[in-house]
């Protein structure tokens, strides 16, 4: 296989991972399998840089879907999954980052800012009677998520827990 064909294959797989669905790690492993092990695949031995490039695509996809669900502008769109899903994806992202040896501090700060913005805007709109709360997790789950993102609970908006799903 010549270098041009190899690069084209890797670019195609990068695109598949980068624009994958809700669990980018699954797409990443499917790409690794196809590129390296599948009888119908090219049978490549990937360099460390090639592996890291594909892993980076998965990391960026995780970041994208977390921020999608922390974007207050998406609350009424069909693509929106809510804070509960952002929380689940955050923990997947953390595990995957640890597995591939990637730092998460920079994105942690971005996600924390996004969550705080979401909560402040949600609190403002709900208190003015402009909408019903859209937070689809319990107060405990939201607080746990906020702390995992490094947010000091004192920075959460007043009455934030009233925005959360109530336990039956």
Q: What are the pLDDT digits (tens) for 128-164?
A: 999 999 999 999 999 999 999 999 999 999 999 999 9
| CA distance linking residue 124 with residue 141, whole number of Å | 21
Categorize the per-residue pLDDT at 168 as very low, low, confident or very high, splitting at 50, 70 and 90. low
pLDDT above 70 (res 123): yes
| CA distance linking residue 71 with residue 94, whole number of Å | 20
Each as own residue / partner, the long-range contacts of residues 154-160 (CB below 8 Å, 24 or more positions apart, any chain) are 155/116, 156/116, 156/119, 157/119, 157/120, 157/123, 158/123, 159/123, 159/127, 160/119, 160/123
Give the mean model confidence (pLDDT) for residues 76-94: 95
Question: What is the helix (H) or strand (E) element at residue 123, kind and residue range?
Answer: helix 105-127
| CA distance linking residue 113 with residue 123, whole number of Å | 15
Q: Residue 10 sits in which domain range?
A: 3-163
Asked, for residue 24, whether it belongs to a domain, the answer is: yes
Q: Which of 117, 137, 114 is nearest to 66 (CA)?
A: 114
pLDDT above 80 (res 3): no
Number of domains in the chain: 1
pLDDT above 70 (res 32): yes
Asked, for residue 7, whether it belongs to a domain, the answer is: yes
Give the mean model confidence (pLDDT) for residues 109-124: 98
pLDDT above 70 (res 22): yes
Which tens digits make up the pLDDT trace of 33-46? Answer: 999 999 999 999 99
Give the mean model confidence (pLDDT) for residues 51-79: 96
Asked, for residue 143, whether it belongs to a domain, the answer is: yes
Q: How many CA atoms lie within 13 A of 33 on its CB side?
A: 7
CB 147 within 8 A of CB 94: no
Q: What are the residue ranges of helices labelled H in 70-104?
A: 83-100
Asked, for residue 168, whether it belongs to a domain, the answer is: no
Q: What global pTM score does this model have?
A: 0.91
């Amino acid at each position: 296989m010549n270098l041009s064909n190899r690069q084209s294959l890797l670019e195609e797989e990068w695109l598949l991972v980068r624009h994958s669905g809700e669990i980018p790690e699954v797409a990443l492993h499917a790409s690794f399998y196809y590129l390296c092990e599948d009888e119908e695949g090219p049978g490549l031995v990937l360099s460390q840089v090639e592996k890291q490039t594909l892993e980076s695509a998965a990391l960026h996809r995780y970041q994208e879907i977390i921020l999608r669900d922390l974007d207050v502008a998406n609350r009424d769109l069909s693509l929106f999954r809510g804070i509960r899903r952002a929380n689940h994806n955050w923990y997947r992202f953390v595990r995957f980052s640890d597995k591939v040896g990637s730092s998460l501090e920079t994105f942690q700060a971005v996600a924390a800012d996004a969550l705080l913005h979401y909560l402040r805007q949600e609190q403002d709109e709900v208190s003015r009677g402009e909408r019903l709360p859209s937070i689809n997790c319990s107060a405990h789950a939201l607080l746990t998520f906020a702390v995992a993102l490094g947010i000091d609970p004192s920075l959460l908006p007043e009455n934030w827990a009233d925005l959360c799903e109530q336990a039956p």
